[in-house]
A and B are shown apart, each in its own frame.
Chain A
Amino acid sequence: MKEKQPLKNKLILFVTLLFVYIALFEFILPINKVIPKPTLFFESLENIWNEYGLVYALTLSGSVVYLSILCAYIHLYLGVAGYLKFLTRIEGSLSMLRAFIFLTPLFFVLLFNYWFPQNILGEFVFAFIVSSFWMLHELLNESKRVKEEYILVGKNLNLTPTEILEKIYWNSAQPELFEKIKKINYSLWLLILMYEFVGNSHGVGQVYRTAYSYNDFTALYALAIVTAIIIWLGDFMIAQIKRKFIHWNA
């Protein structure tokens, strides 16, 4: 009974806000530049699928985001030993790379758009590199937190250094790596939307650009809601995968 209470409260809050929104912007302030009129908004929520080709755009952008995350994860799984050995060896020089954090993501978005104009493969390569970099960064951080006992047992069982990296370091990092993937889901969507908006390449970012160029105020709101739901669904799916397969705390 107690568990149902917060859900009930949320529902009451949602219905109240919806009522206030309809009452305020349908009847009191129907014309304004802040929040669209409810009837127009709900109409737009339906129209964006047909008029702006949102299904196709979502398929493209979603594929780029989730395929790149999946490929980055598989590629790290296959190369974890090599990467960790290499990164540990050059760790002293890695601090030099810190300078890059001051470069805005927009710079890289523009750079890739310059190299691969309106090219879906270029967009995928960009997303793959970004996901791999973020995951590798997390893996390197987690490799410093592996419990000493795991490593001692691994050595004692005569596991090779490569086996220790693959069987102990990789698995030990999984819970935190999946938390990171949840963050990557959100950040990568932002970058891809930016990428498609700037480069006018096919995808949800281009739909935003079109809606913006048409001054379609209500469509921007409808797009924002749909995008938020898609990102939330991605987050939910990643959490379910983690719950199913990564059931331990290292």
Chain B
Amino acid sequence: MIELKNISKDFVGQNGIKSNIIKSISASIQKSKITSFYAPHGSGPSYLLKIISGLEIQTEGSVLNPNSEKIIYIPTEPSSFPWYNVFDNVKLGIVNYDLKSVEKMIKLAGLEGYESFHPHNKSYGFRFRIALARSLAQSPGLILMDDPFKLMDNKTKSEMYSLIIDINRTKGTTFCLASSNLDETLMLSDKIFLMSNEPSEIIYKTEVDLPAKRDLSIKKSDEYISVKTKIITEIKKFDVE
């Protein structure tokens, strides 16, 4: 489990004025679960993910990673390197890589047979699969996804949701998502943290008690509508617009 304790992030602009992007965030990311930080607007969740991965340094607070697990960050776009083919993208950063293990991750991400293909001119879904395979090849304790479906069409989004849920349920990989789309947050998450406008702070959290296997038909279920309504009520209550 990775724990966030009182994380705050300040920025000092060129005019010398200090602005607070993230304010006192405490949360826990449970192992083998999908946790989401959802905010309808603003860059709070994205900054938070960068802080968790160590790519940004927080002004206050700490990220507790007791087992020193590897944390992998997937940006929105570009998520893969266009000059490398699928295989080279996936093995990037692995010292003494094991061929079979890389091939296994490529297969897991649904890219078998595409090893020599380049991501350039391919769909966002294809590129995301590469980023996902690359992340899995690192044997991560946590995969952070920074609004990764934003540019995809609905059909691809739906395929990616299934892929992530499948990997999570079968391999027990822990995922953490930053998103500005409530439906995708609900489709994927086991736990949701609703964040306010800047300075971003957690204003509401909820467990998502939906069946483990989810597809688009779940949107019509009573449970789904109930959780969604609760979150929308909280958004209105805190005026998160």
* Inter-subunit contact A168/B81 (CB<8 Å): yes
Q: Is A147 an interface residue (CB 8 A)?
A: yes
Contacts of B73 in A (CB 8 A): 152-153, 156
The distance from the CB of A168 to the nearest CB of chain B, in whole angstroms, is 7
The distance from the CB of B104 to the nearest CB of chain A, in whole angstroms, is 18
Contacts of A158 in B (CB 8 A): 93
Q: Is B92 an interface residue (CB 8 A)?
A: yes
* Inter-subunit contact B93/A159 (CB<8 Å): yes
* Inter-subunit contact A156/B55 (CB<8 Å): yes
The tally of residues in A whose CB lies under 8 Å from a CB in B reads: 20
Closest to B94 in A: A157
* Inter-subunit contact B50/A152 (CB<8 Å): yes
Please report the C-alpha to C-alpha distance between residue A152 and residue B76 in the assembled complex, in whole angstroms. Answer: 12
Q: Flag A146-166 by CB within 8 Å of B: 1 or 0 each.
A: 010110111111110000000
Report which of A155, A167, A247, A250 forms a contact with B55, defined as CB distance below 8 A. Answer: A155
Contacts of A147 in B (CB 8 A): 78
Contacts of B75 in A (CB 8 A): 149, 152-153
Contacts of B61 in A (CB 8 A): none
* Inter-subunit contact A171/B83 (CB<8 Å): yes
* Inter-subunit contact B78/A150 (CB<8 Å): yes
Contacts of B82 in A (CB 8 A): 248-250
Q: Flag B90-134 by CB within 8 Å of A: 1 or 0 each.
A: 001100000000000000000000000010100000000000001
Please report the C-alpha to C-alpha distance between residue A159 and residue B120 in the assembled complex, in whole angstroms. Answer: 22
Q: With A147-B78, A171-B83, A248-B83 in contact, do A152 and B118 touch (Cβ < 8 Å)? A: no
Please report the C-alpha to C-alpha distance between residue A250 and residue B78 in the assembled complex, in whole angstroms. Answer: 9
Contacts of B55 in A (CB 8 A): 152, 155-156
Q: Is A201 an interface residue (CB 8 A)?
A: no
The distance from the CB of A139 to the nearest CB of chain B, in whole angstroms, is 15
Contacts of B138 in A (CB 8 A): 157
Closest to A153 in B: B75
Find the residue from A147, A157, A172, A250 having the highest chain B CB count within 10 A: A157
* Inter-subunit contact A249/B83 (CB<8 Å): no
Would you call the interface of chain A mostly helix, strand, loop, or mixed?
helix
The distance from the CB of A88 to the nearest CB of chain B, in whole angstroms, is 20
Closest to B55 in A: A152
The tally of residues in B whose CB lies under 8 Å from a CB in A reads: 23
Tell me the chain B residues, 65-87 only, with Cβ under 8 Å from chain A.
71-79, 81-84
The distance from the CB of B150 to the nearest CB of chain A, in whole angstroms, is 13
The distance from the CB of B132 to the nearest CB of chain A, in whole angstroms, is 13
Please report the C-alpha to C-alpha distance between residue A230 and residue B138 in the assembled complex, in whole angstroms. Answer: 50
Contacts of B134 in A (CB 8 A): 157
Q: Is A61 an interface residue (CB 8 A)?
A: no
Please report the C-alpha to C-alpha distance between residue A149 and residue B83 in the assembled complex, in whole angstroms. Answer: 15
Closest to A151 in B: B55
Q: Is A68 an interface residue (CB 8 A)?
A: no
Report which of A149, A156, A171, A172 forms a contact with B53, defined as CB distance below 8 A. Answer: A156
Q: Flag A232-250 by CB within 8 Å of B: 1 or 0 each.
A: 0000000000000001111
Closest to A245 in B: B83
Please report the C-alpha to C-alpha distance between residue A168 and residue B53 in the assembled complex, in whole angstroms. Answer: 20
Contacts of B84 in A (CB 8 A): 171
* Inter-subunit contact A247/B120 (CB<8 Å): yes
Q: Flag A19-44 by CB within 8 Å of B: 1 or 0 each.
A: 00000000000000000000000000
Closest to B53 in A: A156
Please report the C-alpha to C-alpha distance between residue A250 and residue B73 in the assembled complex, in whole angstroms. Answer: 20
The distance from the CB of B139 to the nearest CB of chain A, in whole angstroms, is 12
Contacts of A168 in B (CB 8 A): 81
Contacts of B92 in A (CB 8 A): 157, 159, 167
Tell me the chain B residues, 38-74 only, with Cβ under 8 Å from chain A.
50, 53-55, 71-74
Contacts of B50 in A (CB 8 A): 152
Contacts of B53 in A (CB 8 A): 156
Find the residue from B73, B75, B81 having the highest chain A CB count within 10 A: B81
Q: A interface vs B, CB < 8 Å?
A: 147, 149-150, 152-159, 167-168, 171-172, 174, 247-250
5 A-B contacts, Cβ less than 8 Å apart? A149-B77, A156-B55, A159-B93, A168-B81, A250-B83
Q: Top 5 nearest A-B pairs by Cβ distance?
A: A157-B93, A248-B82, A149-B75, A171-B83, A248-B120
What would 9 more interface pairs be, CB under 8 Å, given A153-B79, A171-B81, A250-B83?
A152-B50, A153-B81, A154-B93, A156-B54, A156-B72, A157-B92, A157-B138, A248-B82, A248-B83
